[in-house]
Structure 1
Amino acid sequence: MAKSGTLDLARGMGGSVRKEDVKSTVDQYVKYHDLHGGEKELRKSNYADLANKYYDLATGFYEYGWGDSFHFAGGWQGETLRECTKRHQHFIALQLGLRKGMKVLDVGCGIGGPLIEIARFSSTLITGLNNNDYQISRGKELIFSAGLSEQCCFLKGDFMNMPIADNTFEAAYALQATPHAPDAQGVYSEIYRVLKPGKYFALDEWCLTDWFDPSNARHLAIKAEIELGDGLPDIRTTRQCVQAMNDAGFEVIFAKDLAEDFPCPWYRMMDPNKLSLTSFQCTRPGRIMTRAIVNILEFLHIAPAGSVEIYNFLQSASEGLLKGGREGIFTANFFILGRKPLKETEILNGSL
């Protein structure tokens, strides 16, 4: 199960980074970003280091606040966070038409929460691709605890250059992981390469919507907050992602902002004024308590120096996501279903 206790939080801070190096890693991480003098092209050229530093620093907080599934989902009245995320994972499995025994790739699998749920739901064989050693180690612990070691596995690798043979998998999905890629077409092309002809790829992306105005200073500030708080080199528009899927060779079956389908928005857990016993850490009292705990743990040297700074940039993410979602300029649930044609000429001809 995910680590949700105070001591678990303290032990998880910094991931695979040595405790004495956490503060310097935080300093290096924030300097990548616009709000601290960084530049987009620097983040893109160092995307792997950016993402690895981010997840080493943030994963402990993610588990403490979210559990084992690090993604957003819209919801219905009365649903808990856990219920929303599980339903969204089932939606992905159903869109892909998963069946027992199929070989499936989870691109950017985190610590394996979605992988475990989808494997149980569909009885498929799932490989989780991840480039972060700490998350892989946590994921292996979780699949062992779930009794799924024969059904699920992890593979260390860069999703821009996967250590996987062509035409290996019968389905693939990416749950809000590919925003870390420096180039959308590049990562989608790699997924296309390892997918068997005729098979499907389900993509859940973080995107700027048509309401985003690149000349609006407030919009740019919100974008920068999200990038800082979530380890992103840049944020693409919905149109850019659809075009990149086409350019990678996929037949786009449909593309839609799933946020439009639910009365409870994906960003509701970012609202500190929303009271919830099941997501207490996300409420205003929960955040005050968490910040106090982190301060005390760092002061007592139980948590490493730099822990409060990690908490601060994660709060920046929360604020940016909430503002971006409320103003309609950003969505965390832009869904694209793509299919790799059976033949190279199929997508050009529009038929088999």
Structure 2
Amino acid sequence: MSKAGALNLATGLGGKIDKSDVLSAVEKYEKYHVCYGGDEEERKANYSDMVNKYYDLVTSFYEFGWGESFHFAPRFKEESLRESIKRHEHFLALQLGLKPGQKVLDVGCGIGGPLREIARFSSTTITGLNNNEYQISRGKELNRITGVDKTCDFVKGDFMKMPFPDNVFDAVYAIEATCHAPDAYGCYSEIYRVLKPGQCFAAYEWCMTDSFDPLNQEHQKIKAEIEIGDGLPDIRLTGQCIDALKKAGFEVMWSKDLAVGSPVPWYLPLDKSHFSLSSFRLTAVGRFFTKNMVKALEYVGLAPKGSQRVQDFLEKAAEGLVEGGRKEIFTPLFFFVARKPHSGSQ
């Protein structure tokens, strides 16, 4: 169902940004980050603009290389990347105990790949919250194509100020999305507010692990590469996420870094030493092909100026993610289930 072709990649580059403004958007996005002189406080203060620019610039690349679900997954031997991603989404639905007819919120839903999979798996009604116009329009198109547009929809909004009343959802989840929040407590508090008492919130978070040393320059470089390549204001420690959940009023039922003990490393699809026909576009050869294709498309005017720069910082992200995974200082798979108490109200 994804827009897989080179022409679709080219026409989607820049999202809702006017094609003549893509290069200046890339330059502004880059300046938010450490590699270009930016700092954490500026990224947090301007997180909405930064994250919106990021997803306008990269969504077409993500869909071209990754499919409709923009996330990692722990993986078994002999299991394809696509199979592991679906299983990862089903696991989340099962941990939430989703039941047919429930009203569920997907916080930071991307173009809705997980939303569609989980809705079909659990027979629930899912609303995807997203602040990016391009991703919402793309998601609505895919909902129509897959036939879930009657039970699934999208709402444009900021997850720090959700456009929903209190106590309205039977379950809430986030898949590698709330890492974009400038403040975990503020984001989790909004999730707490819109969730019905006695119900659960589950998420996969991007985190630095306890092995991360903030005084180690190599560790800091890896963290900065992930931040610029993935539109992040900062990357929190796993413990900071748990503390923020408790401060927001949640009871943490359980939590675990699912990267630990995974038979196949989560970062394998991005490892340049790995080759796979099923996920060819993510391999070193596939990325080299994409890089040169984008260069050619930009040269002939089919892709906007600045497209190569986007490809460059995505490459930087891939390198940072692989090194962060190898050194076990970063995980995209910190999972938790947290419950809003029956008596809880804020």
Flag whether TM exceeds 0.5 (same fold). Answer: yes
The answer as to whether partners of 2:197 and 2:344 remain within 8 angstroms in 1 is no
Paired position in structure 2 for 1:138:
138
AA of the residue aligned to 2:99: R
Paired position in structure 2 for 1:177:
177
Paired position in structure 2 for 1:83:
83
What pairs with 1:62-141 in structure 2 (closer than 5 Å)?
62-141=62-141
What pairs with 1:198-237 in structure 2 (closer than 5 Å)?
198-237=198-237
1:344 to partner: Cα distance: 3.0
Secondary structure of the residue aligned to 1:335 is strand
Residue 48 (str. 1) matches residue 44 (str. 2): no
Paired position in structure 2 for 1:332:
332
Secondary structure of the residue aligned to 2:286 is helix
Secondary structure of the residue aligned to 1:105 is strand
Secondary structure of the residue aligned to 1:128 is strand
1:237 to partner: Cα distance: 0.1
Paired position in structure 1 for 2:37:
37
Paired position in structure 2 for 1:19:
19
AA of the residue aligned to 1:227: E
| Gap regions ≥5 residues in structure 1 | 346-352
Paired position in structure 2 for 1:252:
252
Q: Which moved more, 1:266-275 or 1:187-196?
A: 266-275
1:87 to partner: Cα distance: 0.3
AA of the residue aligned to 1:32: Y
CA distance in 2, matches of 1:79, 1:17: 38
Q: Deviations over 1:162-185 (max 9, x none)?
A: 000000000000000001000000
Residue 289 (str. 1) matches residue 274 (str. 2): no
Paired position in structure 1 for 2:161:
161
Q: What is the aligned-residue RMSD (CA, Å)? A: 0.8
AA of the residue aligned to 1:321: L
The count of residues paired between Structure 1 and Structure 2 equals: 345
CA distance in 2, matches of 1:104, 1:242: 22
1:254 to partner: Cα distance: 0.5
Paired position in structure 2 for 1:320:
320
1:261 to partner: Cα distance: 3.7
1:265 to partner: Cα distance: 1.4
If the length of structure 2 is used for normalisation, what is the TM-score? 0.99
CA distance in 2, matches of 1:284, 1:255: 34
CA distance in 1, matches of 2:284, 2:214: 31
Secondary structure of the residue aligned to 1:260 is coil
Secondary structure of the residue aligned to 1:111 is coil
Secondary structure of the residue aligned to 1:15 is coil
1:269 to partner: Cα distance: 0.9
Q: Deviations over 1:178-216 (max 9, x none)?
A: 010000000000000000000000011000000000000
Paired position in structure 2 for 1:302:
302
AA of the residue aligned to 1:129: L
Q: Deviations over 1:231-268 (max 9, x none)?
A: 00000000000100111100000010011142111111
1:282 to partner: Cα distance: 1.2
CA distance in 2, matches of 1:266, 1:247: 30
| Gap regions ≥5 residues in structure 2 | none
AA of the residue aligned to 2:283: T
Paired position in structure 2 for 1:8:
8
CA distance in 2, matches of 1:258, 1:242: 15
Q: Which moved more, 1:140-149 or 1:253-262?
A: 253-262
CA distance in 2, matches of 1:203, 1:192: 13
If the length of structure 1 is used for normalisation, what is the TM-score? 0.97
AA of the residue aligned to 1:163: P
1:272 to partner: Cα distance: 1.6
CA distance in 1, matches of 2:242, 2:250: 10
AA of the residue aligned to 2:332: A
CA distance in 2, matches of 1:200, 1:261: 26
CA distance in 2, matches of 1:2, 1:242: 35
Secondary structure of the residue aligned to 1:83 is helix
CA distance in 2, matches of 1:65, 1:135: 16
Secondary structure of the residue aligned to 1:167 is coil
Moved over 4 A (4+): none
1:79 to partner: Cα distance: 1.3
Q: Deviations over 1:52-89 (max 9, x none)?
A: 00000000000000000001101011111111110000
1:284 to partner: Cα distance: 1.4
